[in-house]
Amino acid sequence: MNNDIERVLYSKDDINRRMDELANQLTAEYKDQRPLIVSVMTGAVLFTVDMIKRMDIMAKLDFIDVSSYYGGTSSTGKVKLVQDLKSDVRGRSILIMEDIVDTGHTLKYLIDLLKERGAKSVKVCTLLDKPEGRQVEVKADYVGFNVPNEFLVGYGLDYQGYYRNLPYVGILKPAVYEKD
């Protein structure tokens, strides 16, 4: 295990098992809808790639890059659109793929944006949900795991750009960010 990790919350096997279950649910829901899957860069890319391979549906994939943490462990609350989608979302069923919903600022920004642009429906699948972190009211439709109010890394989640490639989700030792 990486030395900066205090405790592993979800192992690679835990994540794989939960993704099998979620993908079955999503396959049933989206069988006849040809959704546009919107993956939120950068954190959700690992989860998205592993999920779509498990989903037996016709779907398109696009990416949007938004950022609000700018290197620290707390949200600025200001969501910046770094790179937009290539697709027109008007009239489409959208499935947002996220790695984590924490304060909710990112998700609220995205849902509002996609609805404003005329999406037919917007639903959300997130690997992790941190309900105690919430600052704005927003809900994910499909949740892998509810997590405690700790700063997590791994499986896409980062601290200052690092740890995304850990194959598990773990709690980052506070000593790592307290010194910054």
Ligand X SMILES: O=P(O)(O)OC[C@H]1O[C@H](OP(=O)(O)OP(=O)(O)O)[C@H](O)[C@@H]1O
Q: Which is nearer to ligand HPA, 97 or 153 (CB)?
A: 153
Distance between CA 36 and CA 92 in Å, rounded? Answer: 7
Q: How far is the CB of 41 from ligand X (least distance, A)?
A: 6
Q: Which one is catalytic: 102, 112, 141, 158?
A: 102
CB 66 within 8 A of CB 109: yes
DSSP state of 114: H
| Active site (annotated) includes residue 102 | yes
Q: How far is the CB of 88 from ligand HPA (least distance, A)?
A: 29
CB 99 within 8 A of CB 126: yes
Rounded to the nearest 5°, which phi and psi values hold at 105?
Answer: -60, -45
Q: How far is the CB of 37 from ligand X (least distance, A)?
A: 15
Q: Which is nearer to ligand X, 57 or 96 (CB)?
A: 96
151 binds, among ligand HPA, ligand X, none (CB under 5 to 8 A by kind): ligand HPA
Binding residues vs ligand HPA (CB under 6 A): 69, 100, 102, 151-153, 157-158
Q: Which is nearer to ligand HPA, 55 or 152 (CB)?
A: 152
Closest by CA position to 126, among listed 107, 148, 153? 107
Distance between CA 166 and CA 174 in Å, rounded? Answer: 18
Using Cβ positions, the residue closest to ligand X within the complex turns out to be 43
Catalytic residues: 102
